[in-house]
Amino acid sequence: MSNWIEIGKVEEIPKLGARVVETAKGDIAVFRTADDSVFALRDRCPHKDGPLSQGIVHGHVVTCPLHNWNIDLESGEAKAPDEGCAGRYEVKVEGGQIFLSI
Ligand code: FES
C-alpha cells in the first residue's frame, strides 16, 4: 500500500527548481518543470552522488551539477551514454498540493 505524504504546494517550488524532502529513506528531490509537471528522485546522482536538487532542469531532464550527467525525471535513468538510475518516487498533485509516495 502506498504511503502518501503531503509535502507542500506546487507553487512553492520555483519553475525549473526543486526542493529537498528529508525522509527516513534519505533525501528526495522534488522537481517542478516549465510545464508544471512534478517529479521526485532520490537526491543522489547515480554517478557520484551529486545533489540532483541543485541541478539544472530542462524539459523533463535534470543535469547533475557535478559532472553534467543528464537524468530523466520520468524514469530516474541516466541518459546515454551514461548508465545508472537515481531511483524515482511516485508523486501526485491534487488541488495544487503535492503528495509523495514513499
Ligand atoms: S555526480 Fe552527477 S554527474 Fe557525477
CATH assignment of the domain containing 86: 2.102.10.10
Which domain, by its residues, includes 33?
Answer: 4-101
Q: Distances from the Cα of 87 to the Cαs of 9, 14, 77, in angstroms? A: 23, 22, 8
> CA-to-CA distance for 87 and 83, rounded, in angstroms?
13
Distance 70 CA to ligand 1 centre (A): 9
Residue 91, SS3 per DSSP: strand
pLDDT tens profile 2-37: 789 999 999 999 999 999 999 988 999 999 999 999
Per-residue pLDDT tens over the stretch 31-58: 999 999 999 999 999 999 999 999 999 9
48 lines ligand 1 (CB under 6 A): yes
Say whether pTM exceeds 0.85. Answer: yes
Q: How many domains does the chain have?
A: 1
Q: Is the CB of 79 under 6 A from ligand 1?
A: no
* Burial of 39 per CB tally in 10 Å (0-12, 13-18, 19+): buried
Is any atom of ligand 1 closer than 6 Å to the C-beta of 86? no
